[in-house]
Amino acid sequence: MTKNVTMSSEIEKDEDELSPAVSFALPFIFAPIIVLSSVLGGYSILIAPIFGYILITLFDFLLKISTRNPNPKLKANLFYYKLILWTWPIIQFSLIFWCIFAVSTFEHLSTWESIFLLMAQGMVTGAVGITFAHELMHQKSSKDRWLADILMAMSLYGHFRTEHLLVHHRYVGTSKDAVTARYNESFFSFFLRVLPSCFKSAWCEEANRLKKIGKSISDIKNPFWRYGGLALLFLLFSYIIGGFFGVFMFLVQAFIAVLHLEMANYIEHYGLTRKLLGNGKYEPTKPYHSWNANHTASNLLLINLQLHSDHHAKPDREYPLLQKYDNNEAPQLPYGYPLMIAMCLIPMLWRKVMNPRVENWKKHFYPEMS
């Protein structure tokens, strides 16, 4: 595919090695950064976005694109990889409500510094918290899914679990999936479209599921009770700590978190579609129905979220075992998510970079359509 990132070598298959668990603890660096920013105020509030967007992108350029794959059948002990996920909800809870306490109590933080601090925290909630929640909601354990719901409630976006598992993975790459970004669609149009569409599709999916087992939408088995209850609980905490100002600050970080989630959604399937086979059925989801990125630093920060091609091909595969693909197997993003997220906010630049790649994807994987 022309102008795409070229792999220096073929992706190596079935290497019996995993990246050390500690390497995926990179997101934990945000915790002391946010605390330091709240204490110092001023320009220190920029440290978190500088680290997440600029430094990680620089390391993506400096480090070679990874070409090694763990053996997907490896029966390794993944306890420490899971411990990273299990620990984060406590850290995120502490960070959010520490920030709300700080902006409600510390006199050295101006109103604008307070808003920017919670925006920085929202970036962390979205980039780390929702990414970790995404991994947890794919696990079979009810405890893991509870942790996912707790993390999503800190963004007031609990319905994402229903929408993601029951709608997105089933209909990705089709008109039935709201979060598959359409070709030429700007991020801003996409964002305004998906906010109501995702909630509606999640609600309808749960209503249909409950109807099939003879339950009403008001039944306690409807997870929307959990989604809403957790969200109200966190809003109550915000009010207790900081009054209405605290609630406003919580809403600021939640909005920024959701913004980051939907920017990632926009990137992951932009312009890619699955073929309609007839009778309302689509071809099975393949690795080439998602954009892939093998960039080293950003994959460590986002616990391999960028290996999205394999995630959709094998949704049950845990993040340390996700596989990398080359140009012949999946379309490649030119950069890691941090830079791609910044780019999607400039529609003309985004189309200039991504539209030719979509056309090349079509020629490569669907030559009969080009």
Check pLDDT > 50 for residue 253.
yes
Name the token pair of 318. Answer: 């845990």
Closest CA to 59 of 298, 302, 361: 298
Mean pLDDT, rounded, for 301-318: 96
Asked if pLDDT for residue 6 goes beyond 70, the answer is no
Residues 228, 199 contacting (CB under 8 angstroms): no
Tell me, what's the pLDDT at 66? Answer: 80
Give me the pLDDT at residue 9, please: 44
| Cα three-residue angle 207-209-215, rounded to 5 degrees | 70
Strand 276-278 versus strand 68-70 pairing type = unpaired
The Cα 63–Cα 163 span in angstroms is 35
Residue 348: burial class (beta carbons within 10 Å; 0-12, 13-18, 19+): exposed
3-state SS class at 1:
coil
pLDDT of residue 3 exceeding 50, the answer is: no
Find the Cα–Cα–Cα–Cα dihedral 145, 150, 156, 159, rounded to 10°. Answer: 10
Which letter, b or e, does each residue of 191-206 get, where b requires 16 or more Cβ atoms within 10 Å of its Cβ?
bebbeeebbebbbebb
Read off the pLDDT of residues 99-148 as tens digits, 9 standing for 90 and up.
999 999 999 999 999 999 999 999 999 999 999 999 999 999 999 999 99
Binning pLDDT at 50, 70 and 90, where does residue 1 land?
very low
Q: pLDDT-based confidence at 15, cuts 50/70/90?
A: low
User: pLDDT of 183-207, one tens digit each?
Assistant: 999 999 999 999 999 999 999 999 9
Residue 316 phi/psi, 5-degree rounding, is: -85, -5
DSSP 220: T
Q: Is 336 left (phi over 0), alpha (psi -120 to 50) or beta?
A: beta
pLDDT tens digits along 16-47: 578 889 999 999 999 999 999 999 999 999 99
Cα-Cα end-to-end distance for the chain? 14
Q: Shortest CA distance to 353 belongs to which of 298, 271, 288? A: 271
Look at residue 270 in the predicted model and tell me its pLDDT: 98
Asked if 315 and 138 count as a contact pair (C-beta separation under 8 A), the reply is: yes
59 Cβ neighbours under 8 A, 6+ residues apart: 296, 297
pLDDT in tens, 55-98: 999 999 999 888 889 887 776 789 999 999 999 999 999 999 99
**Confidence at residue 8, expressed as pLDDT on a 0 to 100 scale:** 42
DSSP state of 281: E
What phi and psi, each to the nearest 5 degrees, are found at residue 172?
-50, 140
Percent of the chain with pLDDT over 90: 88
